[in-house]
Chains A and B, each alone.
Chain A
Amino acid sequence: MTANPAGRRPRLRSAATPWLFATPAIVLFTLFLIIPIGYAIYLSFRGFRIDGGGAFGRRVQTFVGFDNYLAALTDPEYVAGLGRVLLYGLFSIPSVLGLALLFALLLDTPRVRARGFTRTAIFLPYAVPGVIASLLWGFLYLPSTSPLNYLAKQLHAGPLDFFSFPTLYFSLANIALWSGVGFNMIIIFTSLRAIPTSIYEAARIDGASELQIAWRIKIPLVAPALVLTGLFSVIGTLQLYSEPATLRPMSTTISSTWVPLMKIYQEAFMNDNLGGAAAASVVLALGILVLSMLLLRFFQRRTFGDNA
């Protein structure tokens, strides 16, 4: 109690301290995210129009109101791209999360061998850049370089077409699965390890099978981790870009605006329509935001309902 004057100092300090710690992040965040986002929103209301007539009249940037938003929302290709991404997500997200959960549970099975090796092996693709992963699978899909096709040929079966309509979605989802399953597996596995074993010791003594323990005890307990990985998968899915973009030159079935981000890239970098790209991005970001909030709310009620 003698430290009354000294006690004031920490309080004074702590008012400014968090801001000092956060300053580098705030400055960089402002410079490289807030300002560019603000500028992008500004751009989304602007477009190029011709100044001074003639066939080679110069383009100048002017205010175009909601034209860009209207164009994005009424563009059938953009809307179709959103649809394709959702369809792709229906394949990819459950398969990535399902397999990640399966591997995590298997790794968590008592007495299983080669745990370290398999865990590392399954995680390894995470280190392979998305573009390289796509290029590599592209080679594995193309008829003349595909090992599956080589085998099919040996068996006198026809060439397999990995790029034809429904198969294409699986081919793309497979790349996501390959790259993403390890990362998600590690998250689920570590949260499995965080469960005190005492919780299912009792069940084991009662003679419960590992399958039963997994289904009834482990999965409910890792549900929060599943929701989190699911949420990031949804965000990642809606921002799908490098896989279809890398495979596009190899196939005739992937159009140049196959997913929303390809469309945005196209407008921004090929068609010199930054305004249109910005508007389409704002629409996409808002869509992701709304979807994430809805999912979070839905699952929060279900997984944490009892506690919250």
Chain B
Amino acid sequence: MTPPSPRPPRPGRRWTMAAALAVALTATVAACSSADTPSSGTPGTSGTEAAKGPVTLQVWTWNLKGNDPRAKAIIDKYHQENPNVTIKLSEVGGTADTASKLLAADQAGDTPDVAQVEYRGLPALVVAGVVKDITADVAALKSGIEPNIWALTTFNNQVYGVPQDIGPMMFTYRKDLFDKYGAKVPTTWAEYAKAAEQIHKKDPEAYIASFSAAQLEFFAAQAAQAGAQWWSNDGKAWKVGIDSEPSLKTADFWEDLVKRDLVKVEPLLTPEWNAQVNDGKLLSWAAAAWAPNVIHSVAPDTAGKWESAPLPQWTAGDPAVPFLGGSAFLVPAKSKHAKEAAAFAAWLGASDEGSKLQLSLDIYPGGNAGRQATLSHEPPKLMPQQKDFYQVADQVIKNTTIPVTWGPNVNVSQTAFGDALNKAALNKTSFREVYKATQQAVVADLQKSGYTVTK
């Protein structure tokens, strides 16, 4: 009865109906919401060619907080140098939140132009087809970051993100209390166990550290220190080494400490953990160079009593460690301004100017110039007295020679591993079994998805 529609066919009838409703609504929206910011582009137009007119880049990040004056200074600076480009910052949550939002946004064709993600979350996004290959876009600034850091975002020789901050592994501890209890700062994990014993003997309420099963990345890094690779690939097939013997030995180590009640089974950064750190009942945190700022935010009163040292080792004198934590900026495949987005990510991460500015955010820059700048920078607020903090950290970066590859299904293992390890720690059952079960779950999941897994 109605005249034939001049409009091109739509994907489905329900969308047509929805669209009809939307047309009616948008009229109303336009009428009463003038607060809407101009969007980065009309939904219909796409293409990665450099735009002629002004461009607004939507950036999802937790490093640069929307109205933090320090972050503002950085994006203002960029706008000054690139008057065509305006940056709009948004904090949508941490890695997991950002990743899940990004996946949904990709499906909807509504992605931002730049998104921050922790290194271990990147492969999953790459295989989901959400991330753009920006190898060519960043080629010019390649020399701004060391190859061992680029390796964190490079898969099969293609670059999927620009490293921003990095986590050289360090052991941050209460210098005053280690001295008081006569505990030696451990250089090996065996010494760590001895120090744990010593501390707990002197003060039964104090522990060398908490044991947090949710820290999958830490356990993976520890296994890597021992020579195990939890994930690895030859470009064609995946290999999973969570139950390899070196990895299982690290499981034994923690099982022993937990069974002897030398570490406190307690998640990180809970009100409880914070209180214990404040009270001087948790004396250290084996993590990375970003840890001091985290500790300072929960226990500012303890500043001046801490120091950081290189991480303990399995073999005395072997300095090699992997990176722990840190994050990169990726460009979503469906970004409408991919060129400008990649340019911004590269500027902040790899250019001299950008990576130096990152230092103002209390994060550890991955770019060479930023790293160089740390050497003359004041130590973190947690240890104003440890003047050589950044020298120690820089040496650790030089020793960060163990590459860690993250598989496309880290999330699956993260929950399975954390839950099971918590249970084992509470029930004092075998940690080895947890590692073995995780191995099976990870392999099964990879196979279910259709990947080839080799022994």
Indicate if A touches B (C-beta under 8 A). Answer: yes
Show the binding face of A for B, using Cβ within 8 Å.
Answer: 27, 31, 35, 48-50, 53-59, 77, 138-139, 142-145, 249-253, 255-257, 266, 268-272
Cβ of B186 to closest chain A Cβ, rounded Å: 25
Residues from chain B with a CB closer than 8 A to the CB of A252 are 213, 265-267, 422, 425-426
What are 13 pairs between A and B in contact, CB < 8 Å? Answer: A27-B21, A31-B18, A55-B451, A142-B270, A142-B272, A143-B272, A144-B279, A249-B267, A250-B267, A250-B272, A270-B414, A271-B409, A272-B103
The CA of A88 and the CA of B377, in the complex, are separated in Å by: 54
Do A251 and B419 form a contact, CB below 8 Å, given A56-B156, A56-B408, A57-B450?
Answer: no
**Interchain CB contact under 8 A, A55 and B233:** yes
> In the complex, which of the residues B96, B237, B269, B279 contacts A270, with contact meaning CB atoms closer than 8 Å?
B96
**Interchain CB contact under 8 A, B451 and A270:** no
The CA of A116 and the CA of B96, in the complex, are separated in Å by: 46
> In the complex, which of the residues B14, B128, B156, B275 contacts A272, with contact meaning CB atoms closer than 8 Å?
B128
**Interchain CB contact under 8 A, B128 and A54:** no
The CA of A268 and the CA of B156, in the complex, are separated in Å by: 28
The CA of A27 and the CA of B25, in the complex, are separated in Å by: 13
The CA of A292 and the CA of B147, in the complex, are separated in Å by: 60
- 6 cross-chain pairs, A with B, having the tightest CB-CB distances, nearest first: A50-B450, A144-B275, A55-B233, A255-B419, A269-B100, A256-B415
Of the stretches B42-50, B77-85, B119-127, B368-376, the one at the interface is: B119-127
**Interchain CB contact under 8 A, A31 and B21:** yes
Residues from chain A with a CB closer than 8 A to the CB of B96 are 269-270
Which residue on A lies nearest to B237, using beta carbons?
A: A55
Residues from chain A with a CB closer than 8 A to the CB of B279 are 144
Residues from chain B with a CB closer than 8 A to the CB of A57 are 127, 450-451
Cβ of A218 to closest chain B Cβ, rounded Å: 44
The CA of A50 and the CA of B99, in the complex, are separated in Å by: 19
**Interchain CB contact under 8 A, B100 and A50:** no
Q: Does B412 contact A (CB under 8 A)?
A: yes
Which residue on A lies nearest to B97, using beta carbons?
A: A269
Residues from chain B with a CB closer than 8 A to the CB of A77 are 419
Q: Does B189 contact A (CB under 8 A)?
A: no
The CA of A48 and the CA of B409, in the complex, are separated in Å by: 12
**Interchain CB contact under 8 A, A56 and B415:** no
Q: A55-B451, A144-B275, A272-B100 are in contact. List 5 more A-B contacts (CB 8 A).
A: A59-B129, A144-B271, A251-B267, A256-B415, A272-B103
The CA of A48 and the CA of B415, in the complex, are separated in Å by: 20
The CA of A249 and the CA of B237, in the complex, are separated in Å by: 35
Residues from chain B with a CB closer than 8 A to the CB of A139 are 271
**Interchain CB contact under 8 A, B419 and A249:** no
Cβ of B281 to closest chain A Cβ, rounded Å: 9
Q: Does B148 contact A (CB under 8 A)?
A: no
Do A144 and B272 form a contact, CB below 8 Å, given A53-B452, A54-B235, A249-B267?
Answer: yes
Do A49 and B449 form a contact, CB below 8 Å, given A55-B156, A144-B276, A270-B100?
Answer: yes
Residues from chain B with a CB closer than 8 A to the CB of A58 are 127-129
Do A270 and B411 form a contact, CB below 8 Å, given A56-B127, A249-B267, A252-B267?
Answer: yes
What string of 1s and 0s marks CB contacts (under 8 Å) between B426-455 and chain A? Answer: 100000000000000000000001111000
Residues from chain A with a CB closer than 8 A to the CB of B100 are 268-270, 272
The CA of A256 and the CA of B155, in the complex, are separated in Å by: 30
Cβ of B419 to closest chain A Cβ, rounded Å: 4
Cβ of B426 to closest chain A Cβ, rounded Å: 6
Cβ of B427 to closest chain A Cβ, rounded Å: 10
Which residue on B lies nearest to A34, using beta carbons?
A: B14
